[in-house]
Structure 1
Amino acid sequence: MTPKEKSKDDVDIDSAETIRLALIKALLHGWKQVEFESSHKLIMTKVSVKLSNHATTKPLLHDINNIGDLFQICSFKIVTRNGREICMKVASFVKKLRKDVEWENFFPV
Structure 2
Amino acid sequence: MGKRGKYDGQFNKLEAIRLAFIKARDTGWKDIIVKNDDKKIMESLKKKRRINGKLEMPTEDILELNVLFQNCSFCFKNKDGMIISSKIANFAKGLITDVEWEHFFPIWIAMQS
After TM superposition, the score normalised by the length of structure 2 is 0.81
User: How many matched pairs?
Assistant: 107
Q: Percent of aligned positions with the same letter in both sequences?
A: 36
What is the Cα deviation at residue 63 of structure 1? 1.0
Show the counterpart of 2:7: 9
The runs of 5 or more residues in structure 2 that have no matched partner are none
Task: Kindly provide the CA deviation profile for residues 10-44 of structure 1, in whole angstroms up to 9, marking residues without a partner as x.
Answer: 11111111100110011001111111111122222
Alignment pair present for 1:106 and 2:105: yes
Q: Secondary structure of 2:35's match?
A: strand
2:88 equivalent among 82, 90, 102:
90
Determine which structure has more spread, i.e. the larger CA radius of gyration. Answer: 2
What is the Cα deviation at residue 73 of structure 1? 0.8
Judged with a 3 Å threshold, the aligned counterparts in structure 2 of structure 1 residues 53 and 101 are, in CA distance, closer, same or farther, namely: closer
Show the counterpart of 1:29: 27
Q: Secondary structure of 1:57's match?
A: helix
- Point out 4+ residue stretches in structure 1 off by more than 4 angstroms: none
- Name the CA distance, whole Å, in 2 between partners of 1:40 and 1:97: 25
- Assess if the C-alpha contact under 8 Å between 1:50 and 1:62 holds in 2: no
What is the Cα deviation at residue 70 of structure 1? 0.5
After TM superposition, the score normalised by the length of structure 1 is 0.83
The runs of 5 or more residues in structure 1 that have no matched partner are none
Judged with a 3 Å threshold, the aligned counterparts in structure 2 of structure 1 residues 8 and 90 are, in CA distance, closer, same or farther, namely: farther
Amino acid at match of 2:13: S
- Name the CA distance, whole Å, in 2 between partners of 1:52 and 1:68: 13
Show the counterpart of 1:63: 61
- Name the CA distance, whole Å, in 2 between partners of 1:95 and 1:14: 12
